[in-house]
Amino acid sequence: MSAAAGRSRFVARALRQRGMLVWSGIVLLIALASVCAPLLTDFDPNVGVFGDSMAAPSAEHWLGADRYGRDVLTRVLYGGQVALLAAVEAVAIALALGVPLGLVAGYVSGWFDKIVMRVVDGVMSVPFLVLAIAVIAAIGPGLANAMAVVGVVYAMSVLRLVRGEVLSAKEELYVDGLKVSGVSGPKILFGHILRNIAPPVIVQATLMFATAIVAEATLSYLGLGVPQPTASWGSMLSDAQHTIRENFFFVIPPGVAIFLTVLGVNQIGEGLRDLFSREIAVGRLGLNVVHPAPRGQGEPVVEPGEPDRPVALEVEGLSVSFPHQDAGRVTVVRDVSLRLHRGEVLCLVGESGSGKSVTAMSMLGLVSHPGTVTAASIRIGDDEISGLDFAGMRSIRGNRVGVVFQDPLGSLNPTFTVGNQMREAITAHRDVSRAEADRIAVELFERVGIPRAAERLADYPFQFSGGMAQRVMIAMALSCDPDVLVADEPTTALDVTVQQQVLDLLVSLRDERGMAVLLITHDLGVVAEVADSVAVMYAGQLVETGPVSEVFTRPRHPYTQGLLDSVPRNELATGPLASIPGVVPQPADWPDGCHFADRCPFAVDACGGEPVPLVLLPDRTRGVRCVRSGELDLPGLGDHGPGTEPVREHADSHVEAGRP
């Protein structure tokens, strides 16, 4: 983001907020004046002086007196009390009913949700006035009853809003995480989800407050609200209507009171929406900051790439933990250190659940809320992220790193054209005009190989195939001209030929722009294709790191070998495809010793017990976490089957890099 664009957005934001402040002041003034009405005026709002009937504004009656000789200003002030109380009643009922029902309906779904939603549809299909008249006919007149009806009707829209928010919150990673770690439903619902969905509910409540004031005025105007002669803005309008031919003026005071209050409360609502919008976005993504940890105490950083090139991304001692019901907190990523140079592709591989996504996302502060990220250092180029606050993090993330996710269509907003979204991404990072942004968008589309680039900008995401949509995502990630591109399983959802094209694109971008690519995948075929170096991850730890050519031909960790054995090759030559028995255990079940020991064909007693350190080979290009790495002779991608017996090598082989 350029300084000028950043500043202009900041000014725009401040101005909007200043508007909200002014309106808050006006509304507060109206509320205070209403509450303090008895102190401000000596007139009785409901009893008039006959002689003053239809008096024009004067020093005694600032806003005149109505046909019964009642002071208009006094009635406006007391009317304010009625309006505010009525609105508070309706909104309180709406929240008290709508929030819990919406939470539960959204969370449990099933028959409860179906019944509740039928009731909601039923209530909402009847205009509230009709409903109010029916209820008043049944339980008797009075403003309190009428506003209770309004409250119930509003509760329906609160319920809908909350239910919708819960339904989408339920899909989020952090909720899955909480469920997996055994947190109870009510605790997830009221402890976590409710907090995340509070902003839209608060905004909605504010806007409802404004409409409740109109509803009160309407009901009182129709005689369904306060009984005569009680002062209310609505009943005043109704009175004024009787004398409108004699004096038009009496419509104005209650009209202005309603107008100012409703407009003011609405403006506050809009202001809150603005204020929250960033927080909502933050809550949605569950953004987090990286807490600094002491340096130099973690495990060594492996240097698999070419040490002469500048470092694009370096991570030292990255750990991520999540709350867990039984274990307090579980660490799902433990002391990960990586170094990635400009112009290199580093592949992070491992089975599903090994912690690859959490590793990558935590580097960028994209880990969902209850997670805690600590790192001795996370450097992107020369910028240190660890210890930065949210704003600092955002400027680095947005400007230096592009991110591409697995599901391209899910990452694009279906209601805007891709051109619109491209333009937004471009102007977020560069201070350019609309036309210029469009030109850049076309250029990026052409670069990522989208045919008819200019035309396709006008298309919506659903008009793109999976492969093309992934190209759009890559183009969008490139819009900030990143030094580092993080791609989390970018080709997993694509078919083989398209996958190949997207991989080719990533490689050519690396060559052309000197970009560093951190590519996450579970597919070793992909790694063989594009990677310069590889980091194998298992159960939250790096188990082996090194240049891909060496790791693939001469792996030193049985887990790497297991992954290599499961790469499809010529079946006639190698026999049926092997797989590693079992699955990655849940983080809470990881043993103290080697995490892989339970599934390892080579496990011995020494593998249990003590944590296994990552050992660096002397030239620092490779690291391995296995107590037996020196004695095992693993065949790598060679044509041995998985059942190869361990072969003893001479004792010092584990300190030698590369092939024996």
Site residues, Mg ion (CB under 5 A): 357
Cα 534 to Cα 509: distance, rounded to the nearest angstrom: 19
Q: Can residue 327 be called a binding residue for ligand ADP (CB under 6 A)?
A: no
Nearer to ligand ADP, 475 or 517 (CB): 517
Tokens of 296: 């130099």
Q: Can residue 405 be called a binding residue for ligand ADP (CB under 6 A)?
A: no
Q: How many CA within 13 A on the CB side of residue 17?
A: 10
Residue 393 CB, nearest approach to Mg ion (Å): 21
Residue 549 CB, nearest approach to ligand ADP (Å): 24
> Which of residues 353, 467, 555, 558 is near ligand ADP by CB under 6 A?
353
Residue 587 CB, nearest approach to ligand ADP (Å): 5
> Which of residues 189, 312, 340, 358 is near ligand ADP by CB under 6 A?
358
> Which of residues 23, 43, 233, 322 is near ligand ADP by CB under 6 A?
322
Instruction: Tell how strand 516-521 and strand 328-341 pair up.
Output: unpaired
> Which of residues 261, 357, 421, 560 is near ligand ADP by CB under 6 A?
357
Side chain identity, residue 307: P
Instruction: Tell how strand 311-324 and strand 290-292 pair up.
Output: unpaired
Tokens 């093309």, located at residue: 468
Q: Can residue 352 be called a binding residue for ligand ADP (CB under 6 A)?
A: yes
Q: What is the DSSP letter of 163?
A: H
Residue 209, contacted partner among ligand ADP, Mg ion, none, CB below 5-8 A by kind: none
Nearer to ligand ADP, 49 or 285 (CB): 285
Tokens 């309008």, located at residue: 237
Give which of 137, 136, 162 is closest to 149, Cα–Cα: 136
Sign of the Cα pseudo-torsion (171, 541, 635, 525, in order): positive
Nearer to ligand ADP, 150 or 584 (CB): 584
Q: Can residue 325 be called a binding residue for ligand ADP (CB under 6 A)?
A: no
Nearer to ligand ADP, 369 or 622 (CB): 369
Cα 273 to Cα 277: distance, rounded to the nearest angstrom: 6
Q: Can residue 209 be called a binding residue for ligand ADP (CB under 6 A)?
A: no
Give which of 47, 40, 79, 43 is closest to 61, Cα–Cα: 43
Nearer to ligand ADP, 242 or 291 (CB): 291
Q: Can residue 371 be called a binding residue for ligand ADP (CB under 6 A)?
A: yes
Tokens of 447: 């670069």
Give which of 537, 540, 486 is closest to 510, Cα–Cα: 486
Instruction: Tell how strand 372-375 and strand 290-292 pair up.
Output: parallel
Nearer to ligand ADP, 128 or 322 (CB): 322
Nearer to ligand ADP, 174 or 596 (CB): 174
Q: At what angle do helices 418-429 and 434-447 cross, to 10 degrees?
A: 110
> Which of residues 180, 222, 260, 528 is near ligand ADP by CB under 6 A?
180
Residue 531 CB, nearest approach to ligand ADP (Å): 17
> Which of residues 63, 77, 332, 404 is near ligand ADP by CB under 6 A?
332
Residue 413, contacted partner among ligand ADP, Mg ion, none, CB below 5-8 A by kind: none
Q: Can residue 271 be called a binding residue for ligand ADP (CB under 6 A)?
A: no
Is residue 297 a contact partner of residue 337, using CB atoms and an 8 Å limit? no
Closest chain position to ligand ADP (CB) = 177
Give which of 350, 338, 333 is closest to 302, Cα–Cα: 338
Residue 232, contacted partner among ligand ADP, Mg ion, none, CB below 5-8 A by kind: none
Q: Can residue 181 be called a binding residue for ligand ADP (CB under 6 A)?
A: yes
Give which of 85, 67, 76, 82 is closest to 45, Cα–Cα: 76
Q: Coil, strand, or helix at residue 166? A: helix
Residue 358, contacted partner among Mg ion, ligand ADP, none, CB below 5-8 A by kind: ligand ADP
Q: Enumerate residues 587-606 that contact ligand ADP by CB under 6 A.
A: 587
Sign of the Cα pseudo-torsion (188, 189, 191, 193, in order): positive
- Residues 137-176: x where in contact with ligand ADP by CB under 6 A, - otherwise, as a string: ------------------------------------xx--
Strand partners, 401: 484
> What does residue 620 show for φ and ψ, rounded to 5 degrees?
65, 5
Q: Coil, strand, or helix at residue 8? A: helix
Residue 355, contacted partner among Mg ion, ligand ADP, none, CB below 5-8 A by kind: ligand ADP
Q: Would you give the distance in Å from CA 656 to the centre of its chain? A: 47
Residue 333 CB, nearest approach to ligand ADP (Å): 7
Residue 225, contacted partner among ligand ADP, Mg ion, none, CB below 5-8 A by kind: none
Residue 261, contacted partner among ligand ADP, Mg ion, none, CB below 5-8 A by kind: none
Alpha helices in 222-354 (DSSP H): 233-242, 252-285
Q: Can residue 490 be called a binding residue for ligand ADP (CB under 6 A)?
A: no
Nearer to Mg ion, 178 or 236 (CB): 178
Residue 585 CB, nearest approach to ligand ADP (Å): 9
Q: What is the DSSP letter of 65?
A: B
- Which residues contribute to the site for ligand ADP (CB under 6 A)? 173-174, 177, 180-181, 322, 332, 350, 352-358, 368, 371, 587
